[in-house]
Structure 1
C-alpha cells in the first residue's frame, strides 16, 4: 500500500473503503475455484458450462457498469456501494440455494446462474462506487495510487478466498460455503454506515455513456487483454492441476494474488510518477512470461511460479491505464468513465471462461494459458502505440 504521505488527511477513510472492498470481494473470491468444481463434479456438466457459470457474473457486471457509474456521479458513491452490498447478499444466498437442488442438475444450474448474475450486479455497484469514492477523496492527481490500493484489496481477497473457498467446500459443501460467504457484505455495510460521501456535482452536462466510452476505448482494450491472464487462472487453474494429478491446486489464486499484491506494494505510486503507459508496457511483458511458464510447466512448482508472475504483471495495468482514463474526462464524469473502463476488464472475465472452456475440452487445459500469453503481448503492442501517439501529440 502507498505510504500515508501519498494519501493525505483522507488516509483513514480511504483505508476503510479498502477494507470494505476486501471483505465484500470475498463473496466473489470464495466461489471462483468451487463453482467449476461443483458444475463439473456434482452437476456433471462440461468445462464449457463450468466456464459459463464463472463468466456470467462478469457479463452481468459488464452490462451494469454504466448504471453503477451514473449512480455514483448523480446520487453519490455511498448509495451505489450500499446497494451493491445488499445485492451481494441476495446473489450469494440464491447461489447457495443451487446446492440444495443438485438432484436436478438443470434446475440447480439455472438457479446458480441467477445467483451469479446478481453477484455481478453487486460487484459493479461496489467496485465502481468505491473507486469513484476513493478518487473523490484524494483527487485525480493520485488516481493511480487510489486504484492500486483498491485493486490490492480485490486481489488480496482472491488470494485468501481461493483456498478458503476450497476448504469451506470440503467441510460444508457448496451450500455451506455460499451461506458463510453471504455474511461478509453485511460487515461492509456496518463499516460504511457513518462514513460521509464526497459532494456530487449537479447541473453539469452529462454526455451519453457511449460518448464517454469513445474517449477511453483503446485504454479499455489494453485492460481487457490483460484480464484474460487472470481469467484463465481463476476459472481453470484448479482443474488444470487436477487433470495432471498435481497437489496444491488451491494455491494458484494464492500465488497470483501474492504477486499482484507485491507489485502494488512496491510500485503502487509509479504510474503517478512516470505515467501510466510505460508501467503498463512493462507489466504486460511480465504477464506474458508468467502465462508461458504455466503453459510449458512440467511440474506444479513451475506452474505456481507462472501464476505468481502473471499476478505480478497483471497488477499495475489497471491502475496505470486508469490513471490515463481519469485525466481524459471531466471530474463529474469520473464515475461513469471508471465504470466504462472497468467494463472492458469484465469483458475479458466474462468471455474468457466459456471460450477457453471450449478450447480446453478440445485441446487440453495447457492450451488456454498460451491464449493468455498472446493476449498480453497484444495489449503490450497497443499500449506502446498509445504511448508513441501521446509523445507525438506533446511535441
Structure 2
C-alpha cells in the first residue's frame, strides 16, 4: 500500500480522526492570526489615528470579506484541480503579504487618505489569501479523515480560526499599545511563514477525479444552508467590528477581553460538543445554537455594565461555535467528493456574505442611532436564520 493511499484511509475512530486533525489546527491557527491580530486594532486605528468615521470603519472591516467572497470560486477551483496543499501554501503567502501592506501604510509615513487606501489593498489581498487558505484547509482535512468526520474536521478548523481571533485580538491590541501599528503588522506577516514550515510535515492528498459540477450548480445545492449561515454571521461580524467602539462610547475598558471571551467560549463549545453535528445531524444542533446567538446579542444590546457585555460575548461565542459545522455537515452531504473544494468555497462564501453585509449595515446603524443597536441588528438577523433552519428539508 502506498504512503499516500494510507494517509487517505478513513480513520477507524473519532480519537484517530482528532489526532490527524491536530497538525492542521496548529497550521491554520498560525496562518489565521494574520486575520485575528488586526481585528481589534483596525477599527481604533482607522477611527482614532486616521480620523475616519464609523461608516469608513465598517467598510474597512467588510472589505476583506467582500474580497474573500469574490475569490471563493477561485479558491475552490484551485483546491479541486491543483490540490489542497498548493491552495493552502499560496493562501499563507498572500496573508503574509497583506500584513506587510498594512505595515507599509505606517512605515512610509503616508497621509491618512493614502494610508486608508493601503489598508483597503491589504484587506483585499488578505481576502484572497484567506479564501485559498480556509477552502484548501477544509478540503484537506475532510480528505484526510473521510466524509464520516466532516463535522469534526470543520470543528477543528473552526477552533483554529476562532482561537486565532480570540487570542489574536487582545495580542494585537497589546502590540499596538506597546510598539505601534507597525509591530502588529510585522507579527502578522511572520506567523503565516511559520505555518508554511509546519505544512511540510502534513501528508498531501491528491485531487479527486471525475466529472465536476459547475460552481453555481454547487451553490444551488447548498444555498439553503449557506443563507442560514450568512444571516447568523451578521451578528458575529457586527460584534467584532464595533465592540471596541461601543466600549469606548460607554467609557468602559476591556473590549479585547470581550473578544477573548467570545473566542474562549467558542473554542470550549467546540471541544466539548464538537461531535454533535456528526452524531445528531446538523439541523437539530443548529436549532439550539442559533437561539443562543440571539440571546448573546440581546445581552450585548441591553448591557448596562462591561461585565454583562462580557457575558453576552461568551453566550454569542458558544452559540455561533457549532452553527458553522452543523449547517456545513448538511451542505457537504449534497455534493460529490470531486466537488468538495467548490462546496467548501461556496459554503464559506456565505460567511463572507454575512460579514460583508455586517460592516456597512452596522456602520449605518451606528452612525444614526449609536453602537448598542448594532447588536440588535445582529439579533434580528440571527432570528431570521433560525426561521430558515426550521424550514430546512429533512435529510
Scaled to the shorter chain, the TM-score interval is over 0.9
**Kept after mapping to 1: 8 A contact 2:233/2:355:** yes
**Kept after mapping to 2: 8 A contact 1:43/1:102:** no
Pairwise CA distance, 1:318: 0.5
1:335 equivalent to 2:365? Answer no
Residue pairs, 1:93-172, within 5 angstroms: 93-100=100-107, 104-172=111-179
What residue number does 2:3 align with?
none
What residue number does 2:5 align with?
none
Q: Summarize the Cα distance change of 1:270–1:261 in structure 2 as closer, same or farther, 3 Å threshold.
A: same
From 207, 215, 237, the equivalent of 1:209 is 215
1:66 equivalent to 2:55? Answer no
What residue number does 2:8 align with?
none
The whole-number CA distance in structure 2 between the counterparts of 1:221 and 1:102 is 42
What residue number does 1:247 align with?
253
**Kept after mapping to 2: 8 A contact 1:4/1:11:** no
1:373 equivalent to 2:373? Answer no
- In structure 2, the residue corresponding to 1:183 is in which secondary structure? helix
The whole-number CA distance in structure 1 between the counterparts of 2:287 and 2:22 is 28
Pairwise CA distance, 1:25: 0.7
The whole-number CA distance in structure 2 between the counterparts of 1:11 and 1:358 is 43
| Unmatched segments (≥5 aa) in structure 1 | none
Structure 2-normalised TM-score? 0.95
The whole-number CA distance in structure 2 between the counterparts of 1:326 and 1:103 is 46
| Count of residues in Structure 1 that have an aligned counterpart in Structure 2 | 385
Q: Summarize the Cα distance change of 1:355–1:102 in structure 2 as closer, same or farther, 3 Å threshold.
A: farther
The whole-number CA distance in structure 2 between the counterparts of 1:208 and 1:334 is 12
Residue pairs, 1:222-301, within 5 angstroms: 222-301=228-307
From 324, 333, 338, the equivalent of 1:318 is 324
1:214-263 deviations in whole A, cap 9, x for unaligned? 00011000110111121011111011001100111211111111111111
- In structure 1, the residue corresponding to 2:304 is in which secondary structure? coil
- In structure 1, the residue corresponding to 2:314 is in which secondary structure? helix
Pairwise CA distance, 1:31: 0.4
CA RMSD across the alignment = 1.4
From 188, 192, 196, the equivalent of 2:195 is 188
1:6 equivalent to 2:14? Answer yes
Q: Which runs of 4+ in 1 moved over 3 A?
A: 10-13, 100-103
The whole-number CA distance in structure 2 between the counterparts of 1:385 and 1:12 is 36
What residue number does 2:394 align with?
390
What residue number does 1:352 align with?
358
**Kept after mapping to 1: 8 A contact 2:59/2:359:** yes
**Kept after mapping to 1: 8 A contact 2:230/2:353:** yes
Pairwise CA distance, 1:101: 5.1
Q: Summarize the Cα distance change of 1:149–1:194 in structure 2 as closer, same or farther, 3 Å threshold.
A: closer
The whole-number CA distance in structure 1 between the counterparts of 2:38 and 2:162 is 14
Pairwise CA distance, 1:175: 1.4
What residue number does 1:86 align with?
93
The whole-number CA distance in structure 2 between the counterparts of 1:195 and 1:305 is 38
Pairwise CA distance, 1:362: 0.7
**Kept after mapping to 2: 8 A contact 1:201/1:332:** yes
Q: Summarize the Cα distance change of 1:364–1:102 in structure 2 as closer, same or farther, 3 Å threshold.
A: farther
1:194-229 deviations in whole A, cap 9, x for unaligned? 432112123x11222111100001100011011112
